[in-house]
Chains A and B, each alone.
Chain A
Amino acid sequence: MSILVIAEHDNSSLKQATLSVVAAAKAIGGDIDVLVAGENCGAVAEAASKAEGVSKVLVADNAVYGHFLGENLGDLVAELGKGYSHILTSAGTTGKDFMPRVAALLDVAQVSDIIRVESEDTFVRPIYAGNAIATVKAGDSIKVITVRPTGFDPVAADGGSASVEQLDVVKDAGLSTFVSEQKAKSDRPDLASAGIVISGGRGMQNGENFKMLEQVADLLGAGMGASRAAVDAGFVPNDMQVGQTGKIVAPQLYVAVGISGAIQHLAGMSDSKVIVAINKDEEAPIFQVADYGLVADLFEAVPQLEEELKKVL
């Protein structure tokens, strides 16, 4: 068996999610090649070559891949992927965008968002917002798979010494062009890989009040998240949404503040190791999944939390 992993990156650094995808590839077994497609992405290729368990890194460095347009990546990966038994990438917005194109071009099914590998053709994935866990067998000769990074412990980022091969394959579908982007700038850890995440919901009342949470987050070195209601209301940007249709997180500690615990929100965080809920409604469903629940007004509790943390940290 031979597995092609498509690296998730931003042209300068390799996303930790890719190390989890390599772990999933190891669970399947076989030779693992990593494709780094991007523009001026040499540093990413180098990082990928050091990851544990990687045999070869393929680099497609060209402006046509610079913004990870699904049409171009889809054509590239469908062509390279023909020689492999499995094609894997992380289930981030880039992977979700190009991977189904790869599957369709190869005329095979895609298995989305796997959280476990049972065997080379059988995988486990959540459906219905995580309310059911399906074990699915893929019958096609090439298995196209997106991996939920929280399902797999990342392989070591160092120690490997894969060869690096430059490719000269330029696929420009000519269908779409990049116009602009608005990247949320933040010095906080990435939500998807942070060890601690603090999220606010509609109970925060406005964007200004999120500053309270930021102060606690800074003390803990935590990433910041939000419920859909908080994003919809414009308190915080969309990339902070945790849930079925937002980001899936599984940190060591998840603190939900002013979040009721709707099933769609739980779908994004219920695999966290320890869950804390702060909510003034003792009937809020979030308490059914919380390890530690505090029934309190968040406008009192959050400043107190900041003070108490300062004492012990």
Chain B
Amino acid sequence: MKVLVAVKRVIDYNVKVRVKPDNTGVDLANVKMAMNPFCEIAVEEAVRLKEKGVANEIVVVSIGPKACQEQIRTALALGADRGIHVETDEDVQSLEAAKLLKAVVEKEEPQLVILGKQSIDSDNNQTGQMLAALTGMAQGTFASEVVVDGEKVNVTREVDGGLMTVSLKLPAVVTTDLRLNEPRYASLPNIMKAKKKPLDVMSPADLGVEITPRLTTLKVEAPAARQAGVKVADVAELVDKLKNEAKVI
């Protein structure tokens, strides 16, 4: 079967995020960017499905400015077969991302679409579910295990009370949680090979989607800083402070 994976270019998770002094957003100038960690897990899962002989083609798609092609190439180096770049410099919010992905799904007709559960920049946790609703597909969100079984896929989900397994009709949407797998690193030869893999570039207009942001960010501020407190000498002092100073026990 064909698997479509959506990958997003985001700030590297190791980077200390700084809010711009004019409060219009976060400073992304000269900041290291990378593939969203949950999307790496999505790519890895697709590659494992291919290695098991369950998938025969992996198409990876990213939406955003030209630089997103770096993340598509990374996915190709990890084992995806071909890339689609939906190029736009506009502010693509989750609903529009889902509409663009829906248009790609209609063209490509994958049996499985794998996305990250959330991107670590906007922390929305929306796109996969929106895509599933728009395409009328089943969804297995926050997946920690994915088992394809004929016309169905069983997805074990990380939920508040523990784990829950659902059986979904294919085609379906899966969003990845942290413990689904541990992504591999791309080898140098594969990075070289990835440069020659096909990458189609298209615009939102080519896909018939108009980008109309519904949410306006009025301001972005730094969180209230927490003051570091005191060091206590021993456990007895700690318990004393908790009881008599902070009064929380």
Chain A residues with CB under 8 Å of chain B are: 10, 67, 69-71, 74, 92-94, 96-105, 107-113, 122, 126-140, 173-184, 192, 196, 220, 228, 231-232, 237-239, 244-245, 247, 252-253, 263-264, 270, 273-276, 282, 287-296, 301, 304-305, 308-309, 311-313
Residue on A nearest B122 in the bound complex, by CB: A127
Question: Smallest Cβ distance from B193 to chain A, in angstroms?
Answer: 31
Q: How far does the alpha carbon of A231 sit from the alpha carbon of B121 in the complex, in Å?
A: 23
Partner of A93, one of B120, B139, B159, B242: B159
Residue pairs across A and B with Cβ atoms less than 8 A apart, 14 shown, are: A99-B129, A108-B95, A109-B215, A128-B123, A129-B17, A137-B217, A178-B165, A180-B165, A232-B179, A238-B177, A253-B249, A292-B231, A294-B232, A301-B235
Q: Decide yes or no whether B214 CB sits under 8 A from chain A.
A: yes
Once the chains bind, are A308 and B161 in contact (CB under 8 Å)?
A: no
Partner of B220, one of A132, A175, A231: A132
Q: How far does the alpha carbon of A304 sit from the alpha carbon of B240 in the complex, in Å?
A: 13
Q: Decide yes or no whether B202 CB sits under 8 A from chain A.
A: no
In addition to A109-B94, A181-B159, 5 A-B residue pairs with Cβ atoms within 8 Å of each other are A99-B129, A129-B123, A183-B161, A253-B248, A292-B230
Cβ–Cβ < 8 Å partners of A237 in chain B = 162-163
Partner of A175, one of B137, B215, B217, B236: B137
Cβ–Cβ < 8 Å partners of A93 in chain B = 141-142, 157-160
Cβ–Cβ < 8 Å partners of B164 in chain A = 67, 178, 180-182
Residue on B nearest A91 in the bound complex, by CB: B125
User: How many residue-residue contacts, CB under 8 A, span A and B?
Assistant: 272
Is chain A's interface secondary structure helix, strand, loop, or mixed overall? mixed
Interface size on B, residues (CB 8 A): 81
Once the chains bind, are B218 and A292 in contact (CB under 8 Å)?
A: no
Stretch of B47-55, B77-85, B166-174, B184-192 that contacts chain A: B166-174
Cβ–Cβ < 8 Å partners of B67 in chain A = none
If A238-B144, A292-B232 touch, does A177 touch B160 (CB 8 Å cutoff)? no
Partner of B249, one of A70, A100, A296, A309: A309
Question: Smallest Cβ distance from B216 to chain A, in angstroms?
Answer: 5
Cβ–Cβ < 8 Å partners of A175 in chain B = 136-138, 168-169, 172
Once the chains bind, are A177 and B167 in contact (CB under 8 Å)?
A: yes
If A113-B123, A247-B160, A295-B231 touch, does A181 touch B165 (CB 8 Å cutoff)? yes
If A71-B139, A182-B162 touch, does A105 touch B228 (CB 8 Å cutoff)? no
Once the chains bind, are B230 and A293 in contact (CB under 8 Å)?
A: yes
If A104-B130, A105-B133, A137-B216 touch, does A127 touch B125 (CB 8 Å cutoff)? no
Once the chains bind, are A179 and B167 in contact (CB under 8 Å)?
A: yes
Q: How far does the alpha carbon of A276 sit from the alpha carbon of B237 in the complex, in Å?
A: 12
If A138-B215, A176-B166, A291-B246 touch, does A276 touch B238 (CB 8 Å cutoff)? yes
Q: How far does the alpha carbon of A178 sit from the alpha carbon of B164 in the complex, in Å?
A: 8
Q: How far does the alpha carbon of A181 sit from the alpha carbon of B11 in the complex, in Å?
A: 35
Query: Would you list the 4 A-B pairs with minimal beta carbon distance, nearest first?
Result: A100-B129, A291-B229, A175-B138, A109-B214
Cβ–Cβ < 8 Å partners of A100 in chain B = 94, 125-130, 133
If A175-B138, A196-B249, A238-B163 touch, does A132 touch B221 (CB 8 Å cutoff)? yes
Once the chains bind, are A136 and B217 in contact (CB under 8 Å)?
A: yes
Question: Smallest Cβ distance from B122 to chain A, in angstroms?
Answer: 6
The 8 A CB mask of B221-234 against A (1 = contact, 0 = none) is 11100101111101
Once the chains bind, are A140 and B144 in contact (CB under 8 Å)?
A: no
Once the chains bind, are B222 and A238 in contact (CB under 8 Å)?
A: no
Cβ–Cβ < 8 Å partners of B239 in chain A = 305, 308-309, 311-312
Q: How far does the alpha carbon of A289 sit from the alpha carbon of B230 in the complex, in Å?
A: 10
Once the chains bind, are A232 and B178 in contact (CB under 8 Å)?
A: yes
Once the chains bind, are B246 and A103 in contact (CB under 8 Å)?
A: no
Residue on B nearest A304 in the bound complex, by CB: B235
Cβ–Cβ < 8 Å partners of B137 in chain A = 175
Once the chains bind, are A94 and B249 in contact (CB under 8 Å)?
A: no
If A74-B133, A133-B222 touch, does A308 touch B162 (CB 8 Å cutoff)? no
